[in-house]
A and B are shown apart, each in its own frame.
Chain A
Amino acid sequence: MRKKILDMLYNNSRISYEDMSVMLDIPKSRLESEIAAMENEGVICGYPTMINWEKTDCEKVSAVIEVKVAPQRGLGFDKIAERIYRFDEVESVSLMSGGYDLSVTIEGKSMKEVASFVHEKLAPLESVISTATHFVLKKYKEHGVTLVDEKKTEGRMKITP
């Protein structure tokens, strides 16, 4: 049941309890308590809105930074990851397999702001061995949603047998 609820919220977190209850065939009270439980347990961590910033006047720059770090004895990567993810500028941090260790995404107002974060805050951290910053030029798809404008017209005829 949780999977069903989560799938639905993942696609549209603003859906009403009433619609959800009908569509999933789960009583509304049950649904509410289940969602509340998942919020408490940290299964549901928030309900942010997907925004295509490129369509607004707001200047936004994002970058993906590959970070190589020296893991610390007994703490592995967690300690250094924490030191990085606590910065407000940091959008996401993941531990990666392969050529580098941490993938850090940063959002800033300008390229300069991102650059200064990297060389003033990130690179000087003791365990950080190296960084490679990749600026995002264009986002095509995020969270399963296509961000570029597709001319989507109703291709179907209005009445068919």
Chain B
Amino acid sequence: MRDPLSKLIQTIPPSGIRKYFDIVSEMEDAISLGVGEPDFDTPWHIREEGIYSLEQGRTFYTSNAGLKELKTEICKYLKRTQNIDYDTEEVVVTVGGSEGIDIALRAMLDYGDEVLIPQPSYVSYEPCTLLAGGTPVIIELKEENEFRLTPEELKAAITDKTKILILPFPNNPTGAIMERKDLEAIAEIVIEHDLFVISDEIYSELTYKSQHVSVASIDGMWERTVLINGFSKAYAMTGWRLGYVAAPSVILKQMLKIHQFAIMCAPTTSQYAAVEALKKGNKDVEMMRDCYDKRRRFLLNEFEKMGIDCFTPYGAFYAFPSIKKFGMTSDEFAEKLLREEKVAVVPGTAFGACGEGFLRISYAYSIDDLKIALGRIADFIKKISKK
């Protein structure tokens, strides 16, 4: 039989998280700080709206780009929170932010175009770039810069083939943010080199220092930015699979073609629920952000007490402590911690080679759960420090 597979797909390694996931699933009594989604249930009034839409029999396709009502609310939201103007024709509702990343890359890349991907970052940018025929170029972010992208790092990575810069902030897994002054410096270079930006702002509601600033709101960047956001993190709606893309119509029109042929439309029930989320969910977002912030402070304080070095993250719901001084690789540390203390965390290397020496610890857990898990980590640290 012939090889049923494409050569391209066989060159792409599976997600680094996967093999780790398999070990954890075997251990029933393991407690986990490895989850990349909120611990809150979707607020009831949002769920209720989804249920109501089902009762009303709203079980059909929506238009490809999504419900008009939802797109209108998305535009209002982006204006209200980021002060960016988008028309409803400049928004497509997608199956999570992940679809947005995929279709943006596929719509914009030609074979050999280079995509700058700052790492550590979410696992899909690199494979999606490869699948779209592009060439990923990794920018290794540094702890001493609080894992922000600096203008120098960006400049050093640009070649005449560079087309797209991915900006994944607030960042998973580091919790890093980019503030206005950081973005302005980046924007200048992007404009000078005639690049485009895919800005993955899925954690935009979860910042704990200053309000999130979108790169699309920086002068001269609107026409160069594909803004990706969604409902998963802000409204605790991961399982609803709903995100959106906002971009100038010249780019969006082509993305919509891919969306139309591959997806048809985002889930209808989720879209009705999302309208409610944008209209009335603000207090829920505030409540959840406030909870995450308390846990963040709690977690950092515990690290300090244990003698674990960790830069202060101001975004998302992750901390990215350094374990370099314990003389183990991230993989070794994470596996030993899991086997000996039954606490699951994700090695930093799952998010890029430069995550070596770090762990991603999620604080999307109740304080009680965090206490138990951190108690075990403290025991573990004592044990390995003695040796």
Say yes or no: is B25 at the interface (Cβ < 8 Å to chain A): yes
Say yes or no: is A158 at the interface (Cβ < 8 Å to chain B): yes
Say yes or no: is A22 at the interface (Cβ < 8 Å to chain B): yes
Say yes or no: is B168 at the interface (Cβ < 8 Å to chain A): no
Say yes or no: is A156 at the interface (Cβ < 8 Å to chain B): yes
Task: Name the one of B36, B297, B298, B301 contacting A160, with C-beta atoms under 8 angstroms.
Answer: B36
How far is A12 from B164 in the complex, measured between Cα atoms in Å?
Answer: 49
Contact with B along A65-94 (1 / 0, CB 8 A): 000000000000000000000000000000
CB of B342, distance to nearest CB on chain A (Å): 11
Cβ B346 vs Cβ A159 within 8 A = yes
How far is A82 from B37 in the complex, measured between Cα atoms in Å?
Answer: 51
Task: Name the one of A24, A25, A157 contacting B35, with C-beta atoms under 8 angstroms.
Answer: A157
Hey, which chain A residues are within 8 Å of B39, CB to CB?
156
Binds A, one of B5-13, B15-23, B140-148, B275-283: B15-23
CB of B126, distance to nearest CB on chain A (Å): 12
Cβ A160 vs Cβ B17 within 8 A = yes
Cβ B294 vs Cβ A23 within 8 A = yes
Task: Name the one of B35, B124, B295 contacting A158, with C-beta atoms under 8 angstroms.
Answer: B35
Contact with B along A40-70 (1 / 0, CB 8 A): 0000000000000000000000000000000
Task: Name the one of B24, B37, B294 contacting A24, with C-beta atoms under 8 angstroms.
Answer: B294
Cβ A160 vs Cβ B35 within 8 A = yes
Closest B residue by C-beta to A152: B41
CB of B15, distance to nearest CB on chain A (Å): 6
Say yes or no: is A161 at the interface (Cβ < 8 Å to chain B): yes
Contacts between chains A and B (CB distance < 8 A), count = 48
How far is A22 from B346 in the complex, measured between Cα atoms in Å?
Answer: 25
Say yes or no: is B122 at the interface (Cβ < 8 Å to chain A): yes
Hey, which chain A residues are within 8 Å of B172, CB to CB?
161
Contact with A along B275-309 (1 / 0, CB 8 A): 00000000000000000001101100100000000
Hey, which chain B residues are within 8 Å of A159, CB to CB?
17, 20-21, 24, 32, 34-35, 344, 346
Cβ B37 vs Cβ A23 within 8 A = no
How far is A159 from B347 in the complex, measured between Cα atoms in Å?
Answer: 11
Contact with A along B321-364 (1 / 0, CB 8 A): 00000000000000000000000101000100000000000000
Say yes or no: is A19 at the interface (Cβ < 8 Å to chain B): yes
Say yes or no: is B367 at the interface (Cβ < 8 Å to chain A): yes
Say yes or no: is B139 at the interface (Cβ < 8 Å to chain A): no
Cβ B17 vs Cβ A23 within 8 A = no
**A23-B24 contact, Cβ under 8 Å, with A158-B34, A158-B344, A159-B17:** no
Say yes or no: is B154 at the interface (Cβ < 8 Å to chain A): no
How far is A52 from B313 in the complex, measured between Cα atoms in Å?
Answer: 40
Q: Which residues of B contact A (CB under 8 A)?
A: 15, 17, 20-21, 24-25, 30, 32, 34-37, 39, 122-124, 172, 294-295, 297-298, 301, 344, 346, 350, 367
List 20 A–B pairs whose Cβ atoms lie within 8 Å, in order of A's numbering. A19-B298, A19-B367, A22-B297, A22-B301, A23-B295, A23-B298, A23-B367, A156-B39, A158-B21, A158-B32, A158-B35, A159-B21, A159-B32, A159-B344, A160-B17, A160-B37, A161-B15, A161-B122, A161-B123, A161-B172
